Structure 1
Amino acid sequence: MNLNQLRYFACIGRLENYTQAAQELHVSQPSLTNAIHRLEGELQLTLFVKQGRNIVLTDTGSQLLKVVQKSLRILDDGVAAVIAENSQQPITIRVGCIPTVIGTYLPKILHQFEQEHTRQVSFELHSVTTERIQAGLAAKTFDLGIAAVDGRKPGYLYHPLLKQPFIVIVAPDHLLAKRHQLQLTDLLGQQVLTYTPELLIGQKVQRTLKRQGVADKLDLTAAYPDEISIAGMVQASSAVGLVADTLYLEAFNLVKIPVAAPEDLRVIYAMYQADNPQHEYLRQLFHLFSQQEK
């Protein structure tokens, strides 16, 4: 049994999916399968069982996963603390950020922070989905996450950065294009395109529509992964899009109309685990975020 086997097991156990684990760990799927089979053979335990095309942890596997996750967390935190205390090299803070923010709001602030901490801190940026950010924070492959979240988890610190309101997008020649504001009920009779419920933002749309009493009344197609795909379809058709107001929409010839919804569609947070070894630098970064808002 070696450290790689334990890291592979921790990732596969968390995801219960070899393909996703192989992508996250940047190794081949056969390598992961062989590593787990060797681990099971060495321990003489069955850690996973097949369930259709998927795998699930056994009760024994779930018990071992908790032990391995705790042990790896202690090891990684200890190593990072020793390196941070003794290294003359800049500390690298790994940031997972959703694409709509990584090229606009974030770089200026991170550059300013690097200038204020010359030769102390550098940032490694990754443009990924909210789901990948949350998984990376949990696995400690990211130190800082910039993403939209619906709820706050214990053990994490959060700072709200941006709010993206509900809007409707239509083609310039659409009947609604001259409206200055819309109610969700104004969308009755329209073909409405929005995000797939597989995404957090898609789930937020569904909850809002239900609370407003229009979920079962709209001609709704909730099948799209982002604003780009929705905007492309709206620009080429008579459909309307129900989306968050993001930078992606600027590339399209569309009219944006505010929606009288009781809440913002998406709130972007900076977040990190409270026990992160770089807590002090991350705390200072949160303070800089606050200064930018004044």
Structure 2
Amino acid sequence: MNLNHLYYFVTLAHMEHYTNAANELSITQPSLSHAITSLEQELGTYLFEKQGRNVVLTKYGREFLKYVEESLGTLESGIKKTKMLTSETSGYIDLAFIYTLGTRYVPQIVSQFLKENEEKNIKFSFHSAATTDILRGLKEEKYDIAFCSKIENEKEIEFNPIGKQELVVIVPLSHPLAEKTSIDLKETIDYPQIFFSKSSGLRPVIDNLFRQIGLSPTILYEVEEDGALAGLVAENFGIAVLPNILILQTLNVKILNINNPLYTRKIYMARVKNKYLAPVIQQFAKFVQDQNEINI
């Protein structure tokens, strides 16, 4: 079924006159007549009948008109939405990020970007998750772009460094280690620990730190989200290694710098390789990439 023929049908249905409808559509009257005849032949029924010099819809034409107008309305809405999403001045960005970035970095970078693009109609949808879930979501097109850890051997994902996080040890205020301001990681080995779950991009990093010192900690609990981990430490469930995030300053924990082994965790902007991104998403990615690597 020819899409133009449907538009012709709707116009004729409302104007009820072939010559006037043809003029409105900027086509010849024979072309309009041919289009309507083709539609009627395809449907196997008459859509119009003569009434003096005019034409009016038949019973079946009136029924068909309801569906055609609804369908064309939906199509036009889809066209408008697609153009909006892929224009230079408006669009929608599905942004995913690891939990540790939700308190400060993401709100700040998005706010800065929007301030520099106040004249544009750009909206964000925010999603926080563990790195493995984020990368899966990127590949499944749930997210457009993401901030997370780098996972080796991810051939479909492009990683670009955007910042770094310092890892620290946190202990309850009543803990024996709370008297210190910094420690070697080996000093934590006698105390039960709370670890990130295996889905976290931080888990292999922390596992590797303990491998470097040749020791294995006692892991009592595993959690996915950094806020929950810090909360458990504050309530004496154990001690933990995690990024030095803003929320730690609001909890009853002591933050200890790690002297050895030294490690700075890099944070990356991730996106699917060779995948088309709408203009506003490309603009945001460039904005983030143009910032100097910072402590996040």
TM over 0.5: yes
Matched, 1:92 2:92: yes
Give the secondary structure class of the aligned counterpart of 1:276. coil
The superposition leaves residues 101-150 of structure 1 with CA deviations (integer Å, 9 ceiling, x where unpaired) of: 23421233223333444335432222333233211110112111112223
Residues 111 and 198 from structure 1, CA distance in 2 versus in 1: closer, same or farther, beyond 3 angstroms?
A: closer
The corresponding residue for 1:167 is 168
Instruction: Name the aligned partner's letter for residue 212 of structure 1.
Output: I
Moved more, 128-137 or 148-157: 148-157
Whether the 8 Å CA contact 1:233–1:239 is kept in 2: the answer is yes
The one-letter amino acid paired with 2:148 is A
Larger Rg: 2
1:114 aligns with 2:127: no
Question: Structure 1 stretches of 5 or more lacking a match?
Answer: 1-78
Question: Aligned in 2, Cα 1:231/1:291: closer, same or farther, shift over 3 Å?
Answer: same
| Secondary structure at the counterpart of residue 177 of structure 1 | helix
Shift of 1:273: 2.0
Q: 1:225 to 1:87 in 2, by over 3 A?
A: closer
* Partner residue in 2 for 1:133: 134
Verify the 8 A CA contact 1:162 1:267 in the aligned structure 2: yes
Give the CA deviation at 1:89: 7.4
Aligned partner letter, 2:179: K
8 Å CA contact 1:171, 1:234 repeated in 2 = yes
Q: What is the match of residue 58 of structure 1?
A: none
Structure 2: stretches of 5+ with no match in the other structure: 1-78
Q: For 1:249, give the aligned amino acid.
A: L
| d(CA) in 2 for partners of 1:194, 1:227 | 10
Shift of 1:213: 0.3
Rounded Cα–Cα distance in structure 2 between residues aligned with 1:155 and 1:193? 32
Check the 8 A contact 1:165/1:244 in 2, yes or no: yes
Displacement of 1:283: 4.4
* Count of residue pairs the alignment pairs up: 213
The offset of 1:95, in angstroms, is 0.9
What's the offset of the Cα at 1:234? 2.4
CA shift at 1:91, angstroms? 1.8
TM (norm. structure 2) is 0.61
Cα 1:207–1:87 shift into 2, 3 Å = closer
- What do you get for the CA RMSD once the two structures are aligned? 3.2
The alignment partner of 1:182 has SS state of strand
Structure-2 residue corresponding to 1:234: 233
Identical amino acids, percent of aligned pairs:
19
1:239, 1:142 → 2: CA distance? 35
Cα distance in 2, alignment partners of residues 235 and 267 from structure 1: 26
Contact 1:95 1:124 in 2 (8 A): yes
For 2:211 and 2:221, the matched residues in 1 are separated by 14
- Residues 271 and 149 of structure 1: is their aligned pair in 2 closer, same or farther, counting only changes over 3 Å? same
Higher-RCO chain (CA-CA 8 Å, sequence separation at least 6): 2
Matches within 5 A, 1:150-229: 150-151=151-152, 153-215=154-216, 218-229=217-228
The one-letter amino acid of 1:99's match is Y
Mapped partners of 1:200, 1:111: distance in 2 = 26
Give the 3-state SS of the residue equivalent to 1:125 in structure 2: strand
CA deviation after TM superposition for structure 1 residue 92, in Å: 1.2
Deviations 1:206-261 (A, max 9, x none): 2221232012xx33335233333333332232732222222332331111001122
Asked if the contact 1:197–1:206 (Cα under 8 Å) also holds between the matched residues in 2, the reply is: no
Distance between the aligned counterparts of 1:151 and 1:200, measured in 2?
A: 10
Distance 1:100 1:238 in 2: 20
TM-score using structure 1 length = 0.61
